């Protein structure tokens, strides 16, 4: 059996926080495990142990996770929720700038202002200037993530600009993965569910009025909506045709599956169709093959690759 992916504990805790914040109703352990998928592993005992550790860590950081014992059909089960009144005591002791720093810290950003650093230290945290796995950088003035959290929690329509297009969406949920935040939403213009990368939103996020509130699909799970292939993350379905040298043909065919192979050349080279929606992931995949891969189409993507290569050559 393939080895399950190891999830970063900080990323997992943030996803737990997002899950509890996005649900109006308290969530049982079974519901939490169902929605977070493989992040907590496969064994019941391991899941419970990891959850209890995450819950304790969040509480130590001042996150007011409360629990109640349910009645009715679920009588006797414990359910968890964010006691938002609990934030009041903490917030009353902080300045507006420090509260903003907490919002940014929740987004796993590097705190790049002095007041932000003071807020972290004041709360017992440690300043780490290393940007590594599970960490991303957003401008300190960015309010996109806090606004999206609010809109998701209140089920309010959001207007934003993404990939040079104006979008109006129903925000369903936020998820952190591999150092980036993603927004799962229903795009009203395209009339389909899409996943957007938050740091690629251009400009301000505008939240609609309470009259524009929507009802989130009850069985929606953002973890299921996000494909495993990072090249697919970006809210658009763009594909490229790439010629792969025969030396790597078998490996790439196994990675993409036979459906991804569209032509086999007499010398053993293959042409494959691969998503290039997320240019960062696509470039990393492409350049890992050095000179054994060539983008054939579409023309704009081919020209982008040539531009990247020219930049590298110029910088040498």
Q: Based on the number of CB atoms within 10 Å of its own CB, is 61 exposed (0-12), middle (13-18) or buried (19 or more)?
A: middle
Terminal C-alpha separation, the chain: 44
CATH tag, 9-93? 1.10.10.10
Taking only the tens place, the pLDDT of each residue in 18-45 is 788 777 788 898 888 888 877 887 788 8
21 SS3 class: helix
> Is there a contact between 231 and 277 (Cβ–Cβ < 8 Å)?
yes
* pLDDT-wise least confident of 72-76, 91-95, 114-118, 217-221: 114-118
CATH architecture of 144-222: Roll (2.30)
* pLDDT-wise least confident of 48-57, 75-84, 107-116, 189-198: 107-116
Compute the residue count for the chain. 316
Supply angle C-alpha 67, 68, 73, rounded to 5.
135
pLDDT at residue 86 in the model: 53
Q: Where in the chain is the domain with CATH 1.10.10.10?
A: 9-93
> Is there a contact between 169 and 185 (Cβ–Cβ < 8 Å)?
yes
Strands (E), the chain: 27-28, 65-69, 78-82, 158-162, 165-177, 180-187, 192-197, 201-207, 239-244, 261-264, 270-275, 293-297
> Is there a contact between 119 and 165 (Cβ–Cβ < 8 Å)?
no
Q: Based on the number of CB atoms within 10 Å of its own CB, is 161 exposed (0-12), middle (13-18) or buried (19 or more)?
A: middle
* pLDDT-wise least confident of 47-56, 62-71, 138-147, 270-279: 138-147
Largest Cα–Cα distance of the chain, in whole Å? 72
* pLDDT-wise least confident of 91-100, 186-195, 214-223: 91-100
Taking only the tens place, the pLDDT of each residue in 223-264 is 777 665 555 554 456 789 999 999 889 888 887 777 789 999
- CA 284 – CA 229 distance, rounded (Å): 12
Q: Where in the chain is the domain with CATH 2.30.30?
A: 144-222
> Is there a contact between 42 and 34 (Cβ–Cβ < 8 Å)?
no
User: Would the pTM of this model clear 0.75, i.e. be above it?
Assistant: no
Report whether pLDDT(294) > 60: yes
Give the C-alpha distances (Å, rounded to integers) separating 199 from 141, 142, 145, 260: 13, 9, 9, 29
Task: Report helix angle 299-315 to 279-287, nearest 10.
Answer: 70
- Fill in the DSSP letter of residue 7: P
> Is there a contact between 141 and 112 (Cβ–Cβ < 8 Å)?
no
């Amino acid at each position: 059996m393939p080895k399950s992916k190891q999830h970063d504990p900080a990323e997992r805790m943030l996803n737990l926080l997002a899950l509890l914040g996005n649900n109006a109703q308290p969530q049982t352990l079974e519901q939490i495990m169902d929605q977070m998928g493989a992040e907590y592993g496969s064994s019941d005992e391991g899941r419970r142990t990891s959850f209890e550790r995450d819950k304790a860590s969040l509480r130590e950081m001042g996150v007011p996770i409360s629990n109640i014992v349910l009645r009715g059909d679920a009588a006797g089960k414990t359910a968890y929720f964010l006691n938002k009144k609990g934030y009041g005591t903490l917030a009353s002791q902080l300045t507006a700038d420090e509260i903003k720093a907490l919002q940014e810290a929740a987004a796993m950003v590097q705190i790049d202002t002095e007041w932000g650093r003071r807020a972290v230290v004041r709360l017992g945290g440690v300043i780490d200037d290393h940007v590594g796995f599970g960490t991303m950088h957003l401008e300190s003035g960015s309010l996109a993530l806090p606004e999206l959290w609010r809109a998701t929690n209140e089920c309010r329509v959001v207007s934003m600009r993404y990939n040079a297009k104006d979008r109006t969406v129903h925000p369903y949920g936020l998820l952190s993965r591999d150092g980036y935040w993603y927004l799962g939403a229903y795009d009203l213009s395209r009339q389909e569910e899409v996943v957007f990368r938050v740091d690629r939103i251009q400009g301000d996020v505008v939240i609609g009025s309470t009259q524009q509130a929507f009802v989130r699909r009850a069985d929606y799970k953002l973890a299921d909506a996000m494909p495993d292939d990072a090249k697919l993350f970006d809210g658009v379905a763009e594909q490229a045709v790439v010629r792969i040298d025969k030396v790597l043909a078998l490996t790439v065919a196994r990675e993409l599956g036979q459906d991804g192979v569209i032509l086999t050349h007499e010398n053993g080279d293959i042409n494959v169709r691969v998503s290039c929606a997320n240019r960062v992931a696509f470039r990393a995949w492409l350049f890992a093959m050095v000179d054994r891969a060539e983008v054939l189409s579409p023309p704009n993507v081919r020209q982008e690759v040539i531009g990247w290569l020219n930049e590298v050559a110029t910088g040498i």
